[in-house]
A and B are shown apart, each in its own frame.
Chain A
């Protein structure tokens, strides 16, 4: 997992590379580097965040160069392991994202031929391999090199002897071409380029390209030149700015009343009482569906677990939630099953691997993603976009709520097709859906109160989150948010499970956050709170604003606006996000860039 960038054109490459690397930092930020050709190839790299490095990087002249921001997978965080990596003659430089699986074998071969390596990374072999194949033409050397490499990669190479061209190649890691006027770009993703261009070409697996400032040539696996369609990205450059908020995460939390609206807009009609999804998705949902598999990882997995409760309740179709990296190798690929994949970036390596397996097995596949044109949208049979704009904070917020609602729309669509819900029930769902943005605003208005509550958690060494039904995956998400940005150990449990083991860990110093909705299990969770209280911990309840009983049982209460059963999941999530945010802020944590984590994980 890393971010790469290449530039050739009329501007100073140094400035473009640094600006773009800042936008790519969410992909990794433990070290960074650049390489620029100005007659001679010059490189600079170091350990640290680009924000700090930008002041120490010397001004290297030149109009063509490559850059990299790293999140270590092979080899520790060190200056040597930072990119760009160079060939022995220091004429060829590469930046790479991905994992080369056969790098040990290749390294031994190359060392036997006399190449000397300076780092422990898998990436460095690419530079030496190209050097080995180089006979005066960079693209030919790249083409013969990629045939020898096994694994995932997106890389960009430059060569001092051919100072006009960038050569990029991709296999299972993202790489796009940004098209400008008298300048062109290569990058891991669109956000890096938005300041300069919104015209983009996507490379597919096995393809490579030669980019100069005024030409782009793309070749497929068999070295035959191919044409690609240009995509115009509607995202705004400003979407990737903090706009006065102290952190991207807080900005993205506040954006949710708007981003939720964007999921619904044009898809939900109150007057017609209808749900509209893209034609391809609707035709997939129209078929007989015996079961649904939801496959995802991380936060997306938890939104998938919420989806299970929503879909089962609304459609009565059994839903199985699977972890991408497990499903990929061990899942039963059932042809009669509809498989729904969830990935924010559309590039998550584990989920893509699982998607390919399901597709090869003949399953019908739908992907829920935030990025149009991403690899996942191009592989799956149909896709539903969450339409929430770029998410920069490493902790997913707005994409989680939008994913839940996208799954709900899929559920409602299936239910209308199968006539599981009557017109009045659909109408009532639509009305309640339209109330969600208002409810989010209501929760946001309580931010100060939630910040107050955060004081009770900030010194804890361990926090439990509990809930039943749909609140169980919300507990997992609440715990994930807290642990990833505040570094407090946190666990989410199904409230009924806590007595089957986790109880042993409860002491009076383990605060418990209990999510309480007024459903059929209300009494049960109240008695769970009682059991917990008996062991001494403080309990913070997240409860319905109309719940007048809860004060008697919990020490503190945070309120969410009443909504029919399952739909309160969105406002509860916003409370959990704000709680995690404020705890992390009180503890002085690096909220947008938590240690050891990166936004979209494009390695296995």
Chain B
């Protein structure tokens, strides 16, 4: 069986993190979200993946060039009109029943196997969530879908929602073409139209399914996934380093003397950490990053090629790829209300979110929950109390 993975979107709500890479490439426990989807699909016995790409497609193609065990084909969606339109791009590669998944949701292999082995022509994975208003809410009778309502007005009730993961036969493409000809590009409209045509769509409960919509989702999902990464010690670890819990260290990484690391912590390839740096749960540090002496990092995502100066304190932060901060950088976590695309979220513990390629001077302090855009320059001795938009300079 083949799988179609939709990975063309930008992920506007995750800006500035998605300004340099598509949403599906953002790392969770040092692996792009899309790689979790690839792995789950591959392990459930799928032999060919058709990936629909669009926004910053080269980043995806370059990363997965070495992906093994399954054939990967790319199709391009030039304009991101909607999920149904995205799926339609894969039509020419499909001539048998197939599954479709979105590249930005983490899903387990067991749920996919259940979906593949379900006997009905169309079926879908659903999941219970306390926040149904972001999703398509599902009404079903005896595991047959009756209705799919996209983003119903605020109801804070636990409801079953569509995970966006379906099994179809190629006949779905006719329905898609019909719906698109009416000017609607979303997959939920296609499903609704299929129900109206009398198609029976089985609903199957997914085990693990995580959607990443907002920056704060990343930290909690990172924490969940970090627990599943086994310990492994690559590179060189100097005398006098303390490692507790599950710690994974990549090749060519050096952990200098006096470091204290409490897992779950995942450190990529080619990093240099310490001497005397402390890293606490649940932290992921990407490839080629350098953490200078006497710095403390807790519950954060530090992406690749990041440079953190000595005596820095980083808690509940996301630091984008290629950003550098000189010594005594501080991002205290605390209570904050964050605003993303008109939505407000009260958070108990949140640090800074720093976009890619920023250059931050020494002794900079960022207040809880503040977002720094891509390629910003923050001069030394600044305290940042407001969000900073991309390409800005704070003197």
**A binding-site residues for B, Cβ under 8 Å:** 236, 238-239, 241, 243-245, 251, 254-255, 258, 261, 264-266, 269-271, 431, 434, 437-438, 441-442, 444-445, 447
Interchain CB contact under 8 A, B305 and A238:
no
Q: Is the CB of A239 within 8 A of B66?
A: yes
Chain A, interface SS category: helix
Nearest B residue to A240 via CB reads B65
Q: B288's closest neighbor in chain A, by CB?
A: A261
Are the C-beta atoms of A239 and B65 separated by less than 8 Å?
A: yes
Chain A min CB distance to B214 (Å): 25
Closest to B289 in A: A434
The 6 closest A-B CB pairs, nearest first, are: A244-B74, A243-B65, A438-B322, A244-B61, A266-B252, A265-B270
Q: Can you name 9 A-B pairs with beta carbons within 8 Å?
A: A236-B68, A238-B67, A244-B53, A254-B58, A254-B61, A255-B65, A266-B252, A271-B272, A437-B322
Contact in complex: A255, B270 (CB < 8 Å): no
* B35 CB–A CB distance under 8 Å: no
Measured between alpha carbons, how far is A266 from B251 in the docked complex, in Å? 9
Chain B residues in the interface with A (C-beta under 8 A): 20, 51, 53, 57-58, 60-62, 64-68, 72-74, 252, 254, 256, 269-270, 272, 274-275, 287-288, 290, 292, 305, 307, 321-322, 357
Which of A251, A269, A445 is in CB contact (< 8 Å) with B61?
A251
A566 to B373 Cα, complex, angstroms: 29
On chain B, the residues within 8 Å of A243 by CB distance are 61-62, 64-65, 72, 74
Bound form: Cα–Cα A191–B74 in Å: 23
Residues of B within 8 A of A236 (CB): 66, 68
Given contacts A238-B65, A255-B62, A271-B256, contact A261 B270 (CB under 8 A): yes
> Contact check: which of B53, B62, B65 meets A241 at CB < 8 Å?
B65
- Contact among B62, B269, B307, B322 with A265 in the assembled complex (CB-CB below 8 Å): B269
Chain A: minimal CB distance from B24 (Å): 14
Taking A243-B72, A244-B57, A261-B287 as contacts, is the C-beta distance between A438 and B305 under 8 angstroms? yes
C-alpha gap A431/B292 in the complex (Å): 13
Closest to A561 in B: B357
Partner of B272, one of A255, A269, A441: A269
Closest residue of chain A to B76, judged by CB?
A244
A445 touches B252 (CB 8 A): no
Chain B hits for A266, CB < 8 A = 252, 270
Cβ contacts under 8 Å, A269 to chain B: 254, 272
Report how far A271 CA is from B292 CA in the complex, Å. Answer: 7
Contact A270 B61 (CB under 8 A): no
- Alpha-carbon gap, A431 to B288, bound state (A): 12
Is A271 within 8 A of B290, CB to CB? yes
Q: Which residue of A lies closest to B53 (CB)?
A: A244
Contacts of A239 in B (CB 8 A): 65-66
Residue of A nearest to B291 (CB): A271
Q: Which residues of B lie under 8 Å from residue A270 when comparing CB positions?
A: 272, 290
Residues of A within 8 A of B288 (CB): 261, 265, 434, 437
A438 and B272 in contact, given A236-B66, A238-B68, A271-B256 (Cβ under 8 angstroms): no
B294 to chain A, nearest CB (A): 12
Nearest CB in chain A: distance from B336 CB, A: 29
CB contacts (< 8 Å) of B62 on chain A: these are 243, 251, 254-255, 258
- Known contacts A271-B275, A447-B58; can you find 20 more A-B pairs with CB under 8 A? A236-B66, A238-B67, A238-B68, A239-B65, A239-B66, A243-B62, A243-B64, A243-B65, A251-B62, A258-B62, A261-B288, A265-B269, A265-B270, A266-B252, A271-B272, A437-B288, A437-B322, A438-B321, A438-B322, A445-B20
What residue in chain B is nearest A250 (Cβ atoms)?
A: B58
User: Which A residues touch B68, using CB under 8 A?
Assistant: 236, 238
The complex places the Cα of A251 from the Cα of B64 at a distance, in Å, of: 12
Q: How far is the CB of A169 from chain B (nearest CB, A)?
A: 35
Bound-state Cα–Cα, A239 to B67, Å: 10
A245–B72 CA distance with the chains assembled, in angstroms: 12
CB of B375, distance to nearest CB on chain A (Å): 8
* Set of chain B residues within 8 Å of A434, measured between Cβ atoms: 288, 290, 305, 307
Residue of B nearest to A269 (CB): B272
Knowing A251-B65, A271-B272, A271-B292, the reply to whether A441 touches B322 (Cβ < 8 A) is yes
CB <8 Å contact, B252 and A265:
yes
B contact residues around A244 at 8 Å (CB) = 51, 53, 57, 60-61, 72-74
Are B58 and A444 within 8 A (Cβ)? Answer: yes
**Which residue, A245, A434, A442, A445, has most C-beta atoms of chain B within 10 A?**
A434
Closest A residue to B274 by beta carbon equals A271
In the complex, the answer to whether A441 meets B58 with C-beta atoms within 8 Å is no
In angstroms, Cα B374 to Cα A445, docked, is: 13
Q: Can you name the residue of chain A whose Cβ is closest to the Cβ of B269?
A: A265
Instruction: Name the residue among B65, B67, B68, B357 with the largest chain A CB count within 10 angstroms.
Output: B65
Q: Min CB distance, A439 to chain B, in Å? A: 9
A290-B47 Cα distance, complex, nearest whole Å: 59
* Chain B residue with the shortest CB-CB distance to A436: B305
A466 CB to nearest chain B CB (Å): 30
Cβ of B275: which chain A residues have Cβ within 8 Å of it?
271
**Is the pair A271, B20 in contact by a Cβ cutoff of 8 Å?**
no
Q: Please name all residues of chain A whose beta carbon is closer than 8 Å to the beta carbon of B60 when the two chains form the complex.
A: 244
- Cβ–Cβ < 8 Å partners of A437 in chain B: 288, 305, 322
Contact between B20 and A441 (Cβ–Cβ < 8 Å)?
yes
Distance, CA A455 to CA B62, complexed state (A): 26
- The answer to whether B292 touches A238, judged by C-beta atoms less than 8 angstroms apart, is no
Q: Which residues of B contact A245 (CB under 8 A)?
A: 58, 61
The distance in angstroms between the C-alpha atoms of A264 and B252, with both chains bound, is 10
Q: How far is the CB of A28 from chain B (nearest CB, A)?
A: 25
Determine how close the nearest CB of chain A comes to the CB of B250; give it in whole angstroms.
10
Residue among A236, A239, A241, A438 with the most chain B CB within 10 A?
A438
Q: Does the CB pair B287–A442 fall under 8 Å?
A: no
Residues on A with beta carbons closer than 8 Å to the beta carbon of B67? 238
Contacts of A445 in B (CB 8 A): 20
Contact between B61 and A238, CB atoms less than 8 A apart: no
Question: Inside 8 A of B357's CB, which chain A residues have their CB?
Answer: 438, 442
